[in-house]
A = this chain, B = another copy of it.
Amino acid sequence: MLATVMHAPGDVRYEERPEPKILAPTDAIIRLTATCICGSDLWPYRGHNAIAEPLAMGHEYCGVVMEVGSAVKTIRPGQFVVGSFCISDNTCPHCRFGFQSSCEQREFMSGAQAPYARVPLADGTLVATAAMPDDDLIPSLLAASDVLGTGWYAADAARVKPGSTVAVVGDGAVGLMGVLAAKQMGAERIIAMSRHKTRQALALEYGATDIVVERGDAGVAQIKALTKGVGADSVLECVGTRESMQQAIHATRPGGMIGYVGVPHGVELDGQSLFFSQTGMLGGPAPVRRFLPHLMDLILTRQINPGKVFDLALPLEDVAEGYRAMDERRAIKVLLRP
């Protein structure tokens, strides 16, 4: 089959790859209905992460089960499924604690920017719908696989509650999903930091009450001004740079929480500063599996429309153009149809 391989920064190819096979009795093979490009795929694309060998790209996925291994009990061929980018057994102590992204058997999904993919630990990782979903729901179901679940986790980790004041650092797809999640959790005020018109518009549509276009100290000053000098109860850090983390820390009220889901690159934290600012923090790869049944239900009952975050859809064979569009910020997030 033809699938997506990254050979070097900026060098993404759609080329011949072996078709996936059942390797372990707990595996499933799925035919992708849709897949997409993640903001985190841009780290190696931009040379921020080393590429030791060609990478089979793609970790967001939904589709139809083609085959399952002999030990798979609940997932069956023919089902439509969504899975997390973190492979988990959903039975170990970490999974039962709600942190499937630290599963004792954790693997990170790869090779999903392809017509077919192998999903390990299928029973633990995949969630099936009762029936084949309407086609217009596919983008939203795909979003649940990572970007929605990650924004949701950021809001959960930052302890957004009814009535909360929330600030969202980062206007990428995850940040926008963080806005949506905060709204669903009952936040009263949602301040989105964005300087891009189209992203601002989507943030407002998803529930943002205020837009802050300034960054750094000026952005923090704006948030302080909007909150009578107090700061936000909950801050969602959806970027992962030193600058964005400092922005998040300074925008958080004492005793408030930062949920950080941007993979930190070059972020060092000073213990004494965090101590005296009383900034709470919880982050990491999102335990999407914890939220997946609820999120899929919200989507299937059309209560949320996270799929709007895909503002460019391409045939899978044009994946290289998809990377370019996201790298150049021409697109928020690119959906790929095999």
> Which residues of B sit under 8 angstroms from A98, Cβ to Cβ?
255
Q: Give per-residue flags for A157-197: 1 if the beta carbon is below 8 A from chain B beta carbons, else 0.
A: 10000000000000000000000000000000000000000
Interface size counted on chain A using CB atoms at 8 A = 39
Least Cβ–Cβ distance between A44 and chain B, in angstroms: 15
Is A24 part of the binding interface, using a Cβ–Cβ cutoff of 8 Å? Answer: no
A262 to B: closest C-beta gap in Å? 9
| Whole-angstrom CA separation of A94 from B276 in the bound complex | 13
A204 within 8 A of partner (CB) = no
Question: Is B268 touching A94 in the complex (CB atoms < 8 A)?
Answer: no
* A279–B94 alpha-carbon span in the complex (Å): 13
Which residues of the other chain, B, contact A260 by a CB distance below 8 angstroms? 271, 275
Whose C-beta in chain B lies nearest to the C-beta of A97? B255
For the complex, give the distance between the alpha carbons of A94 and B285 in Å.
Answer: 31
Q: Which 3 A-B pairs have the closest CB atoms?
A: A267-B271, A264-B271, A102-B254
Q: How far is the CB of A284 from chain B (nearest CB, A)?
A: 4
Q: A268-B270, A271-B267, A280-B282 are in contact. Are A254 and B99 (CB under 8 A)?
A: yes
Q: Tell me whether A320 is interfacial, beta carbon within 8 Å.
A: no
Residue of B with least CB distance to A284: B278
Could you tell me the distance between the alpha carbons of A98 and B253 in the complex, rounded to whole angstroms?
11
- Interchain CA distance A270-B283 in the complex, whole Å: 13
Whether A230 touches B93, Cβ cut-off 8 Å, given contacts A278-B284, A280-B282, is yes
Chain A stretch 97-128: residues in CB contact (< 8 A) with chain B: 97-99, 101-102
The reply to whether A94 and B245 contact each other, CB–CB distance below 8 Å, is no
A272 sits at the interface (CB 8 A): yes
